[in-house]
Structure 1
Amino acid sequence: MVHVPEIDGLTQARRLADVEQMARELIAVTRDVPVEDVAVNVSIDAVAGIKVRDVLEDVAAERAEAKRLDADASAKTAALARKLVGKGIAQRDVGKILGVSHQRVNQLVQQ
């Protein structure tokens, strides 16, 4: 079932790929406008009784947090590389300490 809250209407679609078109057609018929003039934003709340929206929101939040943590780790790694090289440690040795190539250490130091 496809619910279109703006017109408080319902339609059906056999596949998720058809939802947008079916909603556009329902709106066009209800408002007596060409289907080409109708744009919709599809959001999926549940599929087969599974609340996918809630799970997808959690996944998006966790991905954003992972991205933030990765950026923090990268910044700390670069800072450590600069400190070690600044103390006269060879870039090859710094690479061994950090688990990266000496070329990567050079890149980190140049940032």
Structure 2
Amino acid sequence: MATDLVAVMEQVPIEEVLVQIEFELPGSLGEEIKRARQEAQAAEQAQRNAAEKVRRVVTHLLGSGLSKQDAARILGVSPQRISQLVKSG
């Protein structure tokens, strides 16, 4: 219902509306929950950053003439993972 209301009030297609409901608890438990959410978001961002760095390293390793197998050994991943990283980059 909230999505419909926002779409009507803002005169935008319903597909463009995203409604997120967050519960906030008062006191120290609420603060603990807030910090946990912030840390989880920071961890997700760090994971995305690390993945991007690994993709760049793979590109450099392969660009320097190493094989996918050699790059996999250097990075401690499977050759299949190297192929996935190349495709996603």
Quick check: TM above 0.5?
A: yes
- Structure 2, unaligned stretches of length 5 or more? 1-21
Determine the structure 1 residue equivalent to 2:31.
54
- What is the CA–CA distance in structure 1 between the aligned matches of 2:68 and 2:56, rounded to whole Å? 14
- What is the CA–CA distance in structure 1 between the aligned matches of 2:51 and 2:59, rounded to whole Å? 12
- What is the CA–CA distance in structure 2 between the aligned matches of 1:76 and 1:42, rounded to whole Å? 35
AA partner of residue 44 (structure 1) = L
5 Å-filtered alignment, 1:23-102, equals 43-46=24-27, 51-102=28-79
- What is the CA–CA distance in structure 2 between the aligned matches of 1:65 and 1:94, rounded to whole Å? 29
User: For residues 63 and 42 of structure 1, do their structure 2 counterparts lie closer, same or farther at Cα, with a shift above 3 Å needed?
Assistant: closer
Deviation, structure 1 residue 42:
5.5
Could you say which structure has the greater relative contact order, defined with CA pairs below 8 angstroms and 6 or more residues apart? 2
- What is the CA–CA distance in structure 2 between the aligned matches of 1:80 and 1:69, rounded to whole Å? 16
% same residue: 27
User: TM-score of the superposition, structure 2-length normalised?
Assistant: 0.68
Judging by fraction of residues, say which structure has more helix: 2
- Classify the secondary structure of the residue corresponding to 2:32: helix
- Structure 1, unaligned stretches of length 5 or more? 1-40
Count of matched residue pairs: 67
Q: RMSD between aligned alpha carbons?
A: 1.5
